[in-house]
Structure 1
Amino acid sequence: MMRPIASVGVENIGLEQIEGVLAQQREYAEFLERHGLTKAGGDILLRVAWSLANGKKPCVTDICLLVDYPRTTALRYIAMLEEQALIQRERDVHDRRRWLVNLTPKGSTAIQRHLRTS
């Protein structure tokens, strides 16, 4: 005979909160699918947008640190996003060793559409 699973502490969790999180996850998955992105690619695109919205044009190293993926993985996805014309890299005029990352108009439009539907 199976014992029922105890529901300790669930009385403090609102059903609406859980449904809201699940809805956000579905919307994010749809956004990724619409643009042919993996989760890693979507995370990088959002971090670039987040940095720009905070008034900072991020460099490639900043993005690698923000997404907390191995550097090689982040660099691979940055290259893929650039191939899809969602972001662009440009040399930092003050430090030629650094590459800055910016959204393209296509990338900006994709993020804006996603945020409007979220």
Structure 2
Amino acid sequence: MTAISASQRKRQVAPPSPAVDQMTGTTDKPAEILAGVASNEGTDAVFAAVAHRLYEERRRRDRVMADHGSLFGEPSWDILLDLFISLGASRQVSVSSACLAARVAQSTALRYVGELELAGLVFRSPDPHDGRRSHIALTGIGLTRMRDYLAGVG
């Protein structure tokens, strides 16, 4: 048996580059994701309406269950819905705006943004006009998974 160094082991188990989605072959570049949205414009408009309805239903549920609101929180899902809706409207979303959409404390929302990044569902990019701010968007796989889910909700 040949001994494998720790650095070789890391290279062997390292995840694929986040730039290319291994399931769909799409990239995480915003322009290419937006081009993909344009090619699915009619379908994505329907999906965006479904996503918007789901997001609004969650807000309604929050109001009705205000006394028990902490039992029903899903910040990651709220962020994903917001990003899908914004993508359909060709709006960039700042990380702070995504945190507001999650309807939790900013530190909690930032933790969820980090988890979504690690899962490969979202990515951050710097704001070219404001070095203090970054934007967040769905990755190719995040977009595909959201489409798959929303297609089943109809």
TM-score (norm 2): 0.51
Following superposition, the deviation at residue 58 of structure 1 comes to 0.1
Q: What are the equivalent positions in structure 2 for 1:1-118 lying under 5 Å apart?
A: 39-118=74-153
Q: Which structure would you say has the larger Rg?
A: 1
**Contact 2:75–2:103 (Cα < 8 Å) also in 1:** no
Find the residue that maps to 1:85 and give its secondary structure.
coil
Following superposition, the deviation at residue 39 of structure 1 comes to 2.2
The list of structure 1 runs, each at least 4 consecutive aligned residues, that deviate by more than 4 angstroms after superposition, is none
Deviations 1:34-93 (A, max 9, x none): xxxx82211111111112212211000111112221101100000000000000001011
Taking every aligned residue pair, what percent have the same amino acid on both sides? Answer: 33
Provide the aligned C-alpha RMSD in A.
2.1
**Contact 2:78–2:102 (Cα < 8 Å) also in 1:** yes
Letter in 2 for 1:77: Y
Structure 2, unpaired ranges of 5+: 1-53, 59-72
Q: Matches of 1:66 and 1:42 in 2, distance apart?
A: 10
Find the residue that maps to 1:96 and give its secondary structure.
strand
TM-score (norm 1): 0.65
Letter in 2 for 1:86: L
Number of aligned residue pairs: 84
Letter in 1 for 2:136: V
